[in-house]
Amino acid sequence: MVLLFSYVLYAAAFAPSEDGPDFDIDVGMVVIALALAPLVFIAVAFISRNPQAPRRVLHSVGLLLGIGLILGLISPIIGAAAGFGVGIALSLHPVPVEGWLKWRLIGVALALVYMFALLVFLPAAGLIAGAVAPGFMVGFADEYTVWRESSTAR
């Protein structure tokens, strides 16, 4: 819930005004969204009982800012989704399988490609997908990683 609230505030801060083609960034909304972002990673890390939670949360916040700024030059929405996706992939409790982070990051990348396609063709759906798809793909990547490990062990 905190992720959705933070992401929607961030996306709304970059929405064009209804008055015309001018583009104003609502700095207040950006500040509130960035203030809520660490709570997302704290919730994910501590609820999943990650043994390295404080360190992972700090890394996740740094990656959110770094990735969000770099990809935010293309689109602020894509930057936020990528930052949250990578942060969730890092702060969630690791599965006891080799290569778990690689598959999580591949899942986030696939979610971003899907979100970009939706932003081009259906912008409203792309906005919602940006908030939800990266986190879901991290979960799917974990399931795939565990399934792949169990199928190769047979």
Q: Write the pLDDT tens digit of every residue in 50-102.
A: 999 999 999 999 999 999 889 988 888 899 999 999 999 999 999 988 889 99
Range of the domain at 101: 2-153
Q: What is the pTM of this model?
A: 0.88
Number of domains in the chain: 1
Q: 61-69 — which CB contacts under 8 Å span 24+ positions?
A: 61/37, 61/87, 63/87, 63/90, 64/37, 65/34
Surface-to-core class of residue 80, CB atoms within 10 Å of its CB (0-12 exposed, 13-18 middle, 19+ buried):
buried
Token pair listed for 112: 């971003």
Rounded to whole angstroms, what are the CA distances from 51 to 38, 48, 67, 73, 76?
Answer: 17, 9, 25, 34, 32
